[in-house]
Amino acid sequence: MTGWKCLVTGAGGFLGLRIVRLLVEEKELQEIRLLDKVFKPEIQEEISKLQGKVKLTLLKGSILDEHCLRQACQGVSAVIHAASLIDYMNVIHRNTIMNVNVKGTQMLLEACVQASVPTFIYTSTIEVAGPNSYREAIVNGREEELHKTTWSAPYSVSKQLAEAAVLAANGRGLQNGGTLSTCALRPMYIYGEGSQILYYSVDGALQNNHILSNHCSYSVVNPVYVGNAAWAHILALRALQDPKKAPRVQGQFYYIADDTPHQSYDNLTYNLTKEWGFSPNPRGSLPLSLRYWLAFLLEMVSFLLSPIYTYHPPLNRHWLTLSNSIITFSYSKAQRDLGYKPLFSWEEAKQKTTEWVGFLVEQHNKTPKMKTH
């Protein structure tokens, strides 16, 4: 392909920006259009440093703005749709999540059809597959096992519906007589520099004498480094553009992991922060079954209060299950079809993330402390 253009949605986010960083190295790529609702000043600064090899065009707009999507897709050869609203604690209104994640994806697919964009890659999540119960383990899960979430939580449901829409659109006729090729990637929990979840864990521990929380000690997971998750998107893009590989990839979904050791979320956070003096909480957490029933009671309180007051419980059963289950997946299908192999080793990923944690600690130490009398 000569002088082709690519649109990345959610390009100002944690994963989206990493996709852009790798995308600028692609051959014959003429322009990357970066669509997001907000680009923070530090993100804009980094994007400006990437200008040179490829033209980078910032598009500030909503995924629900039909005119914006039409303009963004005009003349584009491929779309990487990484934008979505993520919410584990049911803080964001259900309709808002469903609109952005489902309706926004459907609108973007329609814009691609009208603009004759032949390639569409969707960033999904393992939450469409589970876990459904902390008592049931999924070990080395594979695509052909067809794991499916039974939760009604808006984020899980919205991603499931959006992914289904993307895969169903594969083979759809385009305005110019061509056909649309789609696939979806389901990354594991993504960690690395810029992770909001890791940021909040570090920030909370800095307020608590470097003691980390122990809310996720029962889990066994295989997280993926953000650089590897981004790399999988590049390989999926190449595969869908390759006439030989495309027939095998079209309409398929892929679990994306790497060689990060299987461990609990708590252990992962500790391994990424211990160099800076962080330590696990020596006090054990409440038994998981007790916390589960406490979460159920808090959800009931929230439901009973809902006609007169909006109460967001600090705990819910869905989050407890997500963060305390045994759930690991194989990336062998991505290896076979996409030629996927992690770009960064565990040691490299750990070093880069640990360095970023050090930056957070440094920034915290520079912040003036309030004097107490």
Active-site residues: which are they? 155
User: Cβ contacts of residue 207 below 8 Å, gap of 6+?
Assistant: none
Q: What is the DSSP letter of 52?
A: T
Decide: helix, strand or coil at residue 225. strand
Of 343, 352, 334, 4, nearest to 193 (Cα)?
Answer: 352
Helix axes 104-115, 154-168, angle to 10 degrees: 20
Tell me the C-alpha distance between 49 and 47, whole Å: 5
H/E run at residue 35: strand 29-36
User: Cβ contacts of residue 292 below 8 Å, gap of 6+?
Assistant: 134, 317, 320
Of 297, 264, 295, nearest to 281 (Cα)?
Answer: 264
Q: What is the DSSP letter of 100?
A: I
H/E run at residue 220: strand 220-221
Give burial (CB, 10 Å; 0-12/13-18/19+) of 316: buried
323 near 130, Cβ under 8 Å?
Answer: no
Tell me the C-alpha distance between 112 and 90, whole Å: 31
Q: Within its chain, how far is the Cα of 102 from the centroid?
A: 15
Of 195, 225, 160, 187, nearest to 334 (Cα)?
Answer: 187
Could you please report the per-residue DSSP string of 286-325? PPHHHHHHHHHHHHHHHHHHTTT-----S--HHHHHHHTS
Q: Please state whether the peptide bond connecting residue 287 to the residue before it is cis, i.e. omega within 30 degrees of 0.
A: no
226: amino acid identity, one letter:
V
Of 223, 236, 221, 255, nearest to 330 (Cα)?
Answer: 255
